[in-house]
Every structure is written in C-alpha cells, then in structure tokens.
Structure 1
C-alpha cells in the first residue's frame, strides 16, 4: 500500500527529514500525556480506596490519618511534574532547531500565497521562466525545497503532515518553511488555521517526482497555452474572455486576472477547487455552473451559460493541457 493511498498515512507517517523529528516529538508527547493520565487515575483510585479503608478501620479519625503524608506526596508530585515539563520543553526546543533549516542549500525556492480559499504557487520568480500554478506543488525527490509563505487576505496555515510541520501565512509578512520528500508520491496538504466558511475545503497536494519528471513538468508549465484551433474552442475562448478573464489568467492570451487560479495548464492538475473535486471535464463545468453550491461563500460565482456556450467553453478548457 503506497503512502498516499490511505488518509491516515498523511498524519501518522513521516516522508521527509523536515517532518521526522516532529513526528517523534509528537509520539513522545502523546506517550507522556497518556502515562500522566494513567498515573493520575491510579493515584486517584488508590487514594479513594485507602481513605475508605482508613475510615472503616479508625472511624472518624481515619481522615486525619490519610492526610499525614499528603504534603510529602504533593511535593514529590510537583517535582516529578516539573522535571517532565522541563524535559519536554528542552526536547521541543531541540526539535525546533533541528528542523529550522535543511542540511544543504535548497535546490528550489517557491512562493505559496494563501487566498480565501485556495493556494497560489509561484515558480522561478527571479528567473526567465516564471509561472504560476494553483493548489498543486511539484518538487524533485530527495531535494530540500524552500517555501516562502504569504497571505493575500487573512491568516492561514500551510501544513503537509508527511513532509513538515505547520507554518502560518500572515498578511503583510513573509514566513519560510522547507520541505523534502524522500520518496515519490502525492502528499496531501491543508490549511490548519480557521479562515472562514470554506476553511475545510482549502487543501492542496505536493507531488514528489524524480528529477527528470520534475524537469519535464517544469518545462511544460513554463510555456504559454496553445491557441485553440477548432471553431468551437475559438468561440469558447471568447466566452472565457467575456466571463472568466477578469479573475483568471491564461498565459498566451489576453486573460490576465489575478484574483483566481491561473488556468494556463488546467488539465495537468489532479484536482480542482482547492482539492474539493477531481479534475474531470464534467466536474469542471459543474464547478463553473454551481460553484456556490459546491463551495458556498467562495469568490467564484455561479456562471449561467447557454448550452452552446457551455459546450464551446468546455472545448476551449480542454485545450489547456
């Protein structure tokens, strides 16, 4: 069974060096908390039964007998608790230092900007091959990747459990995180800072692949969209420009909206609507027509199209591969 095939795998297993110390810390703290609860429960039971036995043997004076060693027990318990908490604090600080930066210089730097409720991903911002994707991050296996985190509206939190801990996206501030995948796979990410009505539908995927596959993907994503050739797709492009271009970008056309995902290579993505739906032609058109039913309060409005316009728009979108 592959790592990405089971939902629990996303939070119960580590797939990279940035998350491994965090997972060990998590299990250690869980074990400590369970042990403390068990010890407290046992002490409570012992106290109850000893007090009852003392009362039965000594009458009313039993209560005084059971309280004689109470002060010593409280002192011992306080010292043990303090030692455990200090040990946990030292361990947590060590983990924070261990995951603060990768062992070597990141091979790739990307910028992820959080919106209500989707993720904008910028590649090659300072180079000639700058492009933007949405809700899908591709990285080469075995290479550390620096992720610069921003927010366009409210506070969000970027979390890929199998690859790294949580880091907040804060308006007006740029935070940093690094991720690395030790094996190929699809790793689910999620916003973990409550950010509004569709917080639960603000997911993304990190796709780790070989360097060769990543290079091919990068080259394909960097090029502009092909111009439509069929009459239906050409008319569909006009429909897109009239109804969608105010928010969406398609590189290679006049569509240059910045408030919604870049759709230049829409067909290359596995999911749409920030992980809400599989990317199929039917789901794409359903999302266009019924976005507010699928994701209420999202900025994507329901768009009413005639059957002919809908058919031609679907033909145009099918060219964005």
Structure 2
C-alpha cells in the first residue's frame, strides 16, 4: 500500500485512456468508441459467416460463396465503411489541426533520454521560463505544445487531455490540449526509446486561472537564499559539480545536460514521474540513481557521506 503522500504525488497515474478531461481528448474518445462499435459489428458478421460456412444450412452455405458475395462483402463493404470512417474521423478531429491562436498558452517540450525538458514561451516564441518533467497550465485555456527531441524518437501522450504525437529529432511537431477542471493529469512516453522507456513519465497540472497566475509570478522570483543545513547543501551542490549539469535560476548553476532544478522542491515526483518527491527519495536519487532508474545519465554520488546527501536534499527542497 502507498502512503497518503505518495498517492497524492502520483495522482493521475496510471493515466486512464478513455476518460477525457478536455475537448481535444473528447473527440478522440468518441472516435475510439465508434471504432470499437464498428469493429464489434464487423466481428459479428465474420463470426456469423464462419458459422454458416461450417455448420449452417446448405441453402445458406450455397449463397455465401460466389462472385457477387466477393464483390459486395469483400470489396464494396470495406470501401464504404473505411471511407465513411475516414471522413467522419477527419471531421471529428479537425479541431486538433487548427493553427495556434494568439490566446493560446505556449509550451515547448523536448524529449530526452529519459526525461522531459519543459520551456514556457511568451507570445513571441521566446523562452520565458524553464522546468522539467512537469507542465503547469490554466483551466479552460488551450495550450499549444511544441514537441521536439534531442536524441531518439519519443512520443508525447496525455490521454485525458489530447492525443499523442511523436517527437522526432530534427523536427518540431505541434499538439494542442486543454483541461476543463483543475487536477493532475499523468502523461507517458508512448514510443519505445531505450531501456528506461517505461520509466519516462510526466505530469500536467491544471490550475484555476488565479492560482496559475500566482504560481507563474512566484516562479519568476530569484532562488531563495538558503540558510542552515540548506546553505551547506548549496555549497556542496556547487563544489561537487552539480551545477555543470543542472541549472538553478539566479545562481551560478547553469548546466543544460540534466533537468532544470530551479523549482524542483515543488515538483510532485522525481526521476520523471517514478518517485514521490520527498527528502528520502531525493537522498536516494542523488546517492544511487541507477538502482532506481537503470540507464539514466545521472552518475551516482555514493562517495558522499549521508550527512552531505541530506544537506544537498535540504537545499533542493528550498527551490520552489
């Protein structure tokens, strides 16, 4: 059994596939149920034909074969059904392909092995703020997500908010999503991308508009000045080279190889959705990340004594 704090941190996981929470996911869900229904009807017709062929009356078996049945059931029926489905599907999901609107929230997500680099864009397309493995959006606003990859093919999928689309190196794809109610919506890489693929999750957190505005305003402030144990952790963070791979806004840490840690203390999870974010899991992740997520690119810091790992974790907790 998970603890209450763990359940809250991992809320929304695993993501339900046919439970839409926004207009872009709703159209895909409707189309899915239509496909299931038509598939069931086709299966029923095939089973009925099989029964007639194997055990049906001779009169029906004799009418089941012949050129006419081949033309009608083997050619005409599939052409009509598939054409109708194509037209219906394109019409139903046309909103997924509409161009970005000036009122849209814009976010750029880059797939990495095996985590997600997140950048919030202003209306000119410039990066206004960076984060990792967690996307914050306001309720009722359409969000345009620009998707790209820095290494291999990944796939961005938040089942309750939109469809999924591949993230291809050298190409930028666009997906639109929207949440109709506040909540935490889990996402997952849906394209096999290497050994830790199954451990490459993320969260989309939808806030009420006022809460979202306060959150974004708070994150524009500089990193707090750490005191006590956290101050020693900040020194250890720099002296052990953490800033060469990770960025912390407002400090000398400006690395780009790993996730941005400017707001890591407020994230719900660690390791791209696999662990609840608390001091214990943070210490474990810093000390031996390979045992928790084999193959990830963060080296182990097992040479550090426990008190140093605790101090670094205390410092990272203050980054909100």
- Once the two structures are superposed, residues 157-178 of structure 1 have per-residue CA deviations (whole angstroms, 9 ceiling, x without a partner) of 1111111111111111111111
Q: Does residue 308 of structure 1 match 2:307?
A: yes
1:71 and 1:129 mapped to 2: Cα distance?
Answer: 64
Tell me the CA shift for residue 142 of structure 1.
Answer: 0.5
Q: Say which SS state the counterpart of residue 282 (structure 1) adopts.
A: helix
Quickly say closer, same or farther: Cα 1:22–1:127, change in 2 above 3 A: closer
Q: Which residue of 1 aligns with 2:44?
A: 38
> Which runs of structure 2 are paired with 1:1-321 in the superposition (5 Å)?
10-50=16-56, 54=58, 66=62, 69-78=65-74, 79-101=76-98, 105-124=102-121, 126=124, 130-230=128-228, 232-243=229-240, 244-304=242-302, 305-321=304-320
8 Å contact kept, 1:139–1:207: yes
User: Aligned partners of 1:124, 1:104: CA distance in 2, in Å?
Assistant: 14
Query: How many equivalent residue pairs?
Result: 307
Q: Deviations over 1:58-79 (max 9, x none)?
A: xxxx9xx837843222222021
Q: Which runs of 5+ in 2 are unaligned?
A: 1-9
Give the superposition deviation at 1:192: 0.5
Contact between 1:225 and 1:320, CA under 8 Å: does it hold in 2?
A: yes
C-alpha change, 1:128 and 1:29, in structure 2 (3 Å) is closer
Q: In structure 2, how many angstroms separate the alpha carbons of the residues matched to 1:128 and 1:149?
A: 15
Whole-angstrom distance in 1 between the partners of 2:142 and 2:307: 48
| Whole-angstrom distance in 1 between the partners of 2:14 and 2:261 | 31
- Report deviation, 1:224: 2.0
Separation in 1, partners of 2:260, 2:101: 32
Residue of structure 2 equivalent to 1:57: none
Change (3 A) 1:106 1:171: farther
Give the CA deviation at 1:5: 6.0
Distance 2:230 2:64 in 1: 88
Deviation string 1:44-103 (CA, Å, 9 cap, x unpaired) is 0111113xx64xxxxxxx9xx837843222222021122111111112222342321279
Conserved 8 A contact 1:111-1:121: yes
Q: Which runs of 5+ in 1 are unaligned?
A: 55-61
In 1, the alpha carbon distance for the partners of 2:279 and 2:311 equals 12
| Residues 265-316 of structure 1, C-alpha deviations (whole Å, 9 max, x = no match) | 2111111111000001101111111210111110012111112322321222
- 8 A contact 2:132–2:260 mirrored in 1: yes
- The 2-side partners of 1:132 and 1:68 are apart by 64
**Structure 1 Cα separation of the partners of residues 233 and 64 of structure 2:** 86
Q: Secondary structure at the match of 1:245?
A: helix
Distance 2:127 2:152 in 1: 29
After superposing the two structures, state which structure 1 stretch, 126-135 or 162-171, moved more.
126-135
* Contact kept? 2:288, 2:300, Cα under 8 Å: yes
Show CA shifts across 1:110-151 (max 9, x none). Answer: 111110111111113558982211111111110111111111
TM-score by length of 1: 0.88
